[in-house]
Every structure is written in C-alpha cells, then in structure tokens.
Amino acid sequence: MSTVNLPDGRKLTLTATEWARPAGAPASRIAYAAAHVVADPLADNSPGAPAALDWERTLAFRRHLWSHGLGVAEAMDTAQRGMGLDYAATKELIRRSAAEGGGRIVAGVATDQLAPGQVTLDQVRRAYSEQLADVLTAGAAPVLMCSRHLAATARDADDYLGIYRELLDESDKPVVLHWLGTAFDPALEGYWGSSDVDKATETVLELVNSNPAKVDGIKISLLDADHEIGLRRRLPAGVRLYTGDDFNYPQLIRGDEQGYSDALLGIFAAIAPAAAAAFAALDRGDLDEYDRIFAPTVPLSRHIFKKPTFYYKTGIVFLAWLNGHQDHFTMVGGLQSGRSVPHFAELIELAAAAGLLTDPDLAAHRANRFMEVMAG
C-alpha cells in the first residue's frame, strides 16, 4: 500500500513520521507560510479564465498552517498572484482568511487589478492604494508587494520612493515591504530603480530609514544569502528582515552573533510540520536538533524552487494533494502543467526523505495513480 512505482522502474517505500503539533507560535522568531490556493476542479480554471476556488479546502489549509504555529502570508506569490489568481478572487481570499481569526496573518498589496500594458504612475499609485485599503479593512497587516506595472513605468528610484512613501503614510499599520527577485518574476527587472542590486539596496534603505516606525520589516526573495545578511545588518533597530530565501532559510533563520532573519516563505506551506518542530527546537536552544530537522527539507525546497523558479507553486500544490489537503491536482490558470513527470518523481523521493509524506498509504495511492496516467 505504501510503495510508489517510480517511472524509472524503482520502487519507493514510504514510512510515516510523527510530527508533534506545537502549543503555539514560535517564541524566538516570527514565521509566516505563504499559502497556495485550492482550485475548484469542476470550474473553468483554464489559462486566462477568472479564478474559481474551492473555498473550504483553501481555508482549511490556512487552519492547518495555523495549527502548526505558523502565521499565514495571504495572497502572495505562492497564491499565484499574476499567474492565475485575479484580483476579484484575491480580495475575497483576503477577506475570508482574515475573518477566520486563526492566527497571525499578513496579506499582499499589489496592482494586479490593472490590465497588462502601459499605465501611468498615478494609476499605479491608485491601484496600490485601493488594495491597501482592502487589506486594512479586512483586518490583515499589509505586505507591499512588487508591482509589474511600477517596474514598467517608473523612470528612476525617485518614482519608487514617491509611491511607497505615500503608501506608508496611508497605512494605519506598519507594513512589510517585499523585494521579489527576477527568478520569481522576470517582469520585475530593475526594481527599486536599478538592475544593480547594490544601488537598489540603497534605495530600499533610504525608504526604510525615512520612516522606520511604519515598516515592520522587509521580505527579501533574491536567493542571495550574503546580500540578505548584509542588508539585515543595516536595517534600523526594530525593523525585521523576513527571509524569503527558499534555498538558504535554515542558516538565515538560525542567524549569527549579529542577528537573524525571521521568515516569510513559500516552502513553509509544504514543510509546515517540520518547520514547526525546528522552531520548537530553536526555542529550546537545541541547535543540533534544529539543524537535523531542517537539513533534509533543503534539497526538497531547492528542487521545488529550481528554474524556472516561478513554477514552484506547482510543486507546493502537488505535495498538498499527496498529503490529503485537497482531493485533486488542479490549479487556477492550468498551472498544474508547469512541471514534468521526472520532476514530480524526484519531489516524491525528497519529500519522503524529509518525512513530509504524512499519510504514506494515501500518498502512495495518489502518486501511483498520477504516474499511471502521466507516464503510462
């Protein structure tokens, strides 16, 4: 029952790992999991169609994350912002998730209600402002996401600073800034006014230093651990660095004598039980156990987030399906086609090695059905 027939002829036997649920959120770090959305499998979720969600399964997955002590980062890149999730569904998603009241929640603010194409800076500002108001009204803390429209329209760093400063003034809560690299979205080339990361960093620091009381932290997803550490050490007191580095998160969260990163990570949606156990070990000061738990999750994460990185959502949803969090492997925008059969086969092996196929019989049954249909 718990054997997976891999497409190369090998057989993989799955075994269960027991993960204890924590009594609450981690004490030593703030940790958000960026959650995916569950599509309605009977709706038209083909490319370009409005997103139709299975609301109960989508919200149940957020309850799962909260039950492991993690916060939820709602309507972020993992939820297919700009890759199938339109703003009408996004707004409703934020409203429903915030109303659950299950735990800590932040939510993405972007400009994706605007049509693709040329827009003015004022249109970008008003789109951001509309979404900021929606997030605040819902009761979530805002994450100011990178905007494709702003990347295409801004002439220089001053255009970014002007818009972001207005948004900071409008928010009645401290915000999380978000710097998403081109590996996740190639349309964000030159964000913050320069393709030179060092110059862009100076712009980010100018923004944060001009009003640190309005900035809870900044989430960095550049997949460059050295850059993240350097920026972390230059932030004003009280402003957090939330790692979004799905390749190097254990060392960045663990930190060093000069500080550490908190976390806002897409991979935490896939490894929530292990992440919760690692944070519990960190809270106890058991760094060996922390390292032991996280170590096998890194190859899994690096595989899920391998190039083209923006298709990582497909692996997140596939693993959620194997673990019984949804009854199908369908995604909005038809994104389930974003990875190959060999990619999924390796994902299964790596998830098993990390102890993250929590119901071996179910996972094997679903994996074998998938392989039979897709690989013959």
What's the rounded mean pLDDT across residues 72-81?
98
Amino acid residing at 138: A
Distance in angstroms (rounded) separating the CA atoms of residues 227 and 197? 9
What is the overall mean pLDDT for the chain? 97
pLDDT at 287: 98
List % helix, strand, coil for the chain (3-state, nearest 5): 50, 15, 35
Percent of the chain scored above 70 by pLDDT? 100
Task: Tell me the pLDDT tens digit for each residue of 218-250.
Answer: 999 999 999 999 999 999 999 999 999 999 999
Contact yes or no for 88/96 (Cβ under 8 A): no
Task: Tell me the pLDDT tens digit for each residue of 263-294.
Answer: 999 999 999 999 999 999 999 999 999 999 99
For the cut 80, the answer to whether the pLDDT of residue 1 exceeds it is no
Task: Tell me the pLDDT tens digit for each residue of 18-56.
Answer: 999 999 999 999 999 999 999 999 999 999 999 999 999
Contact yes or no for 41/376 (Cβ under 8 A): no
What is the pLDDT confidence band of residue 62, given thresholds at 50, 70 and 90? very high
For the cut 90, the answer to whether the pLDDT of residue 118 exceeds it is no
pTM exceeds 0.75: yes
What's the rounded mean pLDDT across residues 84-101?
98
For the cut 80, the answer to whether the pLDDT of residue 373 exceeds it is yes
Q: Which helix (H) or strand (E) holds 240?
A: strand 240-243
Task: Tell me the pLDDT tens digit for each residue of 191-222.
Answer: 999 999 999 999 999 999 999 999 999 999 99
What is the pLDDT confidence band of residue 15, given thresholds at 50, 70 and 90? very high
Nearest to 240, CA basis, from 217, 258, 272, 270: 217
Task: Tell me the pLDDT tens digit for each residue of 128-137.
Answer: 999 999 999 9
8-state DSSP, 81: B
Q: Where are the alpha helices (DSSP H) in 120-238?
A: 121-138, 148-153, 157-170, 197-210, 225-232
Q: Which residue has the tokens 């339109």?
A: 86
Any residues with CB less than 8 A from the CB of 239 and at least 6 apart, and which? 208, 212, 215, 216, 217, 218
pLDDT at 98: 98
Cβ-in-10-Å burial (0-12, 13-18, 19+) of 287 comes to exposed
What is the pLDDT confidence band of residue 376, given thresholds at 50, 70 and 90? confident
Percent of the chain scored above 90 by pLDDT? 98
Task: Tell me the pLDDT tens digit for each residue of 324-335.
Answer: 999 999 999 999
What is the pLDDT confidence band of residue 104, given thresholds at 50, 70 and 90? very high
For the cut 80, the answer to whether the pLDDT of residue 251 exceeds it is yes
